[in-house]
Every structure is written in structure tokens, then in C-alpha cells.
């Protein structure tokens, strides 16, 4: 089961508000806050597509490039011990650290991308 909607290269995680009895979400991976909601799943899918289309259209009207998730460059900090273990694991697998890391991250992200 997936709580992710996709349209035009954008994605959103969907949640349910039991108090208000609505589904809601927002476009993930962009700095602008673009949300949507609906009472039914089919209406939610339509509201998401409309939110993405409106976001892209509004950006074009104001002369702003819509944000695209993501650049392809990833940088994060880990402990020196983990860094050493990762570098060794990559070397032992015959891959560069970038190749090894991309492979590991791809496997970890497969459930989200599906």
C-alpha cells in the first residue's frame, strides 16, 4: 500500500484527518508550500494533479522557475566510524563511494518510488 501520489515529476504523501474526515497532502521536495485536500480518494487524486498544475502555471505567470526535486547532489554528515565502514564496504565491492552509496540508497528508496 502506498500513500504517495505522483504527477509531472512531483510527489506528495497523503494522510487522513479522522477528526475532519478528509484526505490531505502537500507537494514534497519543494520549498513552496502547496497543499491539497478532498473527501474521497478520487477527488484527492484530482486535487493533487490540479495543485501541481496550478503550481507550475503560477510559476510561469510570475516568471519563476518551478522547483524540481532534486539536483542529484547529496551531502550529509555521519560519524567518522561510519564513514570508514562505508568507504571500506565500497572498496571491497569494487565500487566508488558514489556508486556504492547510490546503489544502497536506491534499494532503500525502492518502496517509496514504487
pLDDT tens digits, 56-100: 999 999 999 898 766 677 888 999 999 999 999 999 999 999 999
Whole-prediction pTM: 0.65
Amino acid 114: pLDDT: 58
Peptide bond just before 53 cis, omega within 30 deg: no
Q: At residue 60, what are phi and psi to the nearest 5 degrees?
A: -65, -40
| Distance from C-alpha of 11 to C-alpha of 7, rounded to nearest angstrom | 7
Separation of alpha carbons 2 and 13, rounded Å? 9
1-17 pLDDT tens trace: 478 899 998 999 899 99
Q: How far apart are CA 44 and CA 74, in angstroms?
A: 31
Amino acid 75: pLDDT: 85
- For residue 64, how far is the Cα from the chain centroid? 21
Residue with cell 474521497: 40
| Predicted pLDDT at 1 | 47
Task: State how beta strands 10-17 and 4-7 pair.
Answer: antiparallel
Task: Provide the pLDDT for residue 113.
Answer: 62
Domain ranges for the chain: 4-62, 80-113
Q: Tens digit of pLDDT for each residue in 21-60?
A: 999 999 998 888 999 999 999 999 999 999 999 999 999 9
Amino acid at each position: 500500500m502506498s500513500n504517495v501520489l505522483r504527477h509531472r515529476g512531483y510527489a506528495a504523501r497523503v494522510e487522513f484527518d479522522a477528526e475532519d474526515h478528509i484526505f490531505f497532502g502537500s507537494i514534497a521536495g519543494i520549498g513552496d508550500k502547496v497543499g491539497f485536500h478532498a473527501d474521497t480518494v478520487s477527488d484527492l487524486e484530482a486535487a493533487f494533479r490540479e495543485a501541481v498544475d496550478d503550481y507550475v502555471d503560477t510559476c510561469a505567470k510570475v516568471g519563476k522557475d518551478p522547483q524540481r526535486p532534486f539536483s542529484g547532489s547529496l551531502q550529509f554528515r555521519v560519524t567518522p566510524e561510519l564513514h570508514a565502514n562505508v568507504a571500506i564496504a565500497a572498496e571491497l565491492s569494487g565500487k566508488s563511494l558514489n556508486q556504492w552509496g547510490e546503489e544502497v540508497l536506491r534499494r532503500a528508496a525502492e518502496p517509496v518510488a514504487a
